[in-house]
Chain A
Amino acid sequence: MQSRTRNIYLIPYVLWIVLFVIAPIVLVVYYSFFDIEGHFTLLNYKKFFTPVYLRMTLSSFWYAFLITVFCLLLAYPTALLLTKTKHKQLWLLLIILPTWVNLLLKAYAFLGIFGAFGPANALLETLGIGQKQLLFTDFSFVFTSVYIFIPFMILPIFNSLEELSPSFVDAARDLGASPWTTFRRVIFPLTLDGVKSGCQAVFIPALSLFMLARLIAGNRVITLGTAIEEHFLVTQDWGMGSTIAVFLIIAMAIIMILTGSRR
């Protein structure tokens, strides 16, 4: 009796998962077996393993990796500093604030900033370096992406640092560890879970970035995300687009498993 009422409460969630998680994945997998004329085929998978797509995969991973690494390098010290400041909650709010602004708006803002006559170039000019092509470069792409993703890296790291009992740090110092050794041997390993979930939160979406890649990097950076968009919207080859999506899903699942916390 009791379990039955409990099952009734489950219905909305099950419905949600079936409609918006399982069904799309099934559809994507289904479409990946059809060619552009609607015939069943395995050719899409074969095509994925050609140099064009493999290079695309590699570059996607490479950019996602770069974005994650820079995020981590910036986020960890920031989070560490945050835990030591007086008005933690205020600073945290200021870091979270930009995530409330629409992604597209932020991307357009960067178009302006990095444009030929934008403030970034104006600064370079006054420094005597002179105007540079900033927009549509790897630099601007990675920079903007790091800016957009960094709150998602800071938050989990900040949380795990906050949870870290200060007596562990005291204990390490007590046993003769210098501040750096304490960080390396105690603080970092004990906040690894936060780092992992931060990396997940950045790497996975960074893998399938397409809008940013298109706006900020022009068509210079072609990632799996842009390729999927291209296939669905331009070439109408839904089969190939789905195939790439299948590989993306697999890649994400693998990353989730690898960075998942062992318990």
Chain B
Amino acid sequence: MADRTIIRFEHVTKQYDDDPAVLNDVSFEIERGKFYTLLGPSGCGKTTILRLIAGFIEPSKGKIYFNGKVINNLPANKRQVNTVFQDYALFPHLNVFENVAFGLKIKKMKKSDIEEKVKEALRFVNLAGYEAREIREMSGGQRQRVAIARAIVNEPEVILLDEPLSALDLKLRTEMQYELRELQRRLGITFIFVTHDQEEALAMSDEIFVLNEGKIQQSGTPTDIYDEPINRFVADFIGESNIVPGKMIRDFLIEFNGKQFECVDGGFHPDESVEAVIRPEDLQITTPEQGKLQVRVDSQLFRGVHYEICCFDEDGNEWLVHSTKKAVVGDNIGLTFDPEAIHVMRFGETEEEFDKRLEAYEEAGHAK
């Protein structure tokens, strides 16, 4: 188990002068061979984590381990990691071959070996035959690939990617998402990917760290994070969600909008104030009589895959519905959902407590 861990952060804080900490007492582990995503809004500290791993900055407090050794003060050039930069940072005075060969030349590798490895790396990113091109002659997507080739050619244990897709247009971005994921599987090395795009994170990662204000809010697989967000921030940031205040009458029974609903969450104090999350795609439109909730359709947008219908209930809560069926603006409709669709969040619960509670009531559920 310990063998699988490649990077470990232990209570790492990064602070510049007297400003509030960019990264505040963060601890986590990165396992070998997985695709990790650091996800969060700008300024949440995700790039800081990346720069700490790369060695461009040093932590103010705490320890960073790499393969079991503390690397706090190890300079960037001595680390077994390579970075794909947001602006690619390809050297404009060198051509594609020289860019990719840069790291190998520093290692004083034999010329014939360098040539072979560079060719292989370029073939890996589908750029065979582009060796002699100048960087300025390459398109955005091609530069991206050169940057990746330049990183993988050094055979690092970890590749860091700092929002590498943000400069590409939508179509190319989706394409590169597939390619990156595929590349990571083929290489079998650890990827740490930084993005503020939640869809990108959900699509590509084995594991996601959701960050906000210098703290890790939640970590887990994409489905964990999507289905069971720990708090309002995560629920809001990952996908669309309807969040309403509620009260746990007892385990597996929640009250909101003045009605009681069956749910699948447990481990609460009786009558505890909570927040309930229902994803827009888990709401089905029905007649007002059959619906668990009665709402009025306020507006509707056609999103291609589905309609995004915005409704309000009598208390003025907004309900977002994703439906393939059209609704009529101004109509009163009913909304229905399964007990599984409700996810209950406790106020101020830490990730540890959250995981423990989840485990406990799931076991209890199985015992029944």
Q: Knowing A174-B76, A175-B154 touch, does A165 contact B106 (C-beta < 8 A)? A: no
A170 and B91 in contact, given A176-B77, A181-B106 (Cβ under 8 angstroms): no
The answer to whether A176 and B83 touch (CB under 8 A), given A170-B56, A190-B93, is no
Question: Which chain A residues border B150 with CB–CB below 8 Å?
Answer: 175
Interface size range of chain B in the complex = 20 to 34
Whole-angstrom CA separation of A190 from B135 in the bound complex: 14
A170 touches B83 (CB 8 A): yes
Contacts of A185 in B (CB 8 A): 102
Contacts of A181 in B (CB 8 A): 106
Interface residues of A in 171-207 (CB under 8 A from B): 171-178, 181, 185-186, 189-190
Chain B residues near A165: list those with CB within 8 A.
Answer: 87, 89
The answer to whether the Cβ of B92 comes within 8 Å of any Cβ in the partner chain is yes
A16 CB-CB contact with B under 8 Å: no
Q: Mostly helix, strand, loop or mixed at chain A's interface?
A: helix
Q: How many residues of A contact B (CB 8 A)?
A: 17
B75 at the A interface (CB under 8 A)? yes
A-B contact pairs, 27 of them (CB 8 A): A165-B87, A165-B89, A167-B85, A167-B86, A167-B87, A168-B89, A170-B54, A170-B56, A170-B85, A170-B89, A171-B83, A171-B89, A171-B91, A172-B102, A173-B55, A173-B77, A174-B56, A174-B76, A174-B81, A174-B83, A175-B150, A175-B154, A176-B106, A177-B102, A178-B77, A186-B91, A190-B93
Task: Mark contacts of B175-194 with chain A using CB atoms, 8 A cut-off: 1 yes-contact digit, 0 otherwise.
Answer: 00000000000000000000
Bound together, the chains give a CA A174 to CA B154 distance in angstroms of: 11
Measured CA separation A178–B154 after assembly (Å): 16
Residues of B within 8 A of A173 (CB): 55-56, 75-77
A173 vs B154: C-alpha distance when bound (angstroms): 13
Q: Which residues of A contact B55 (CB under 8 A)?
A: 173-174
Of residues A168, A171, A177, which shows the largest number of chain B Cβ atoms within 10 Å of its Cβ?
A171
Would you list the 9 A-B pairs with minimal beta carbon distance, nearest first?
A175-B103, A171-B89, A167-B89, A173-B76, A176-B106, A174-B83, A189-B93, A176-B77, A173-B77
Would B89 and A177 count as touching, CB distance under 8 A? Answer: no
A173-B75, A175-B82, A178-B77 are known contacts. Are A168 and B91 too (CB-CB below 8 A)?
Answer: yes
Give A contacts to B, CB under 8 Å. 165, 167-168, 170-178, 181, 185-186, 189-190
Most buried by A among B54, B55, B76, B93: B76
CB distance from B349 to the nearest CB of A (A): 38
How far does the alpha carbon of A189 sit from the alpha carbon of B102 in the complex, in Å? 14
Which A residues are in CB contact (< 8 Å) with B82?
A: 174-175
Q: Verify if B107 is at the interface (C-beta below 8 Å from A).
A: yes
Contact with A along B66-92 (1 / 0, CB 8 A): 000000000111100111011101111
B83 touches A177 (CB 8 A): no
Write the B102-138 contact mask toward A (1 if CB under 8 angstroms, else 0). Answer: 1100110000000000000000000000000000000
Q: Return the chain A residue nearest B107 by Cβ.
A: A176
A262 to B89 CA separation, bound complex (whole angstroms): 21
In the complex, chain A residues whose CB is within 8 Å of the CB of B106: 175-177, 181
Instruction: Give min CB distance, B44 to chain A, whole Å.
Output: 20
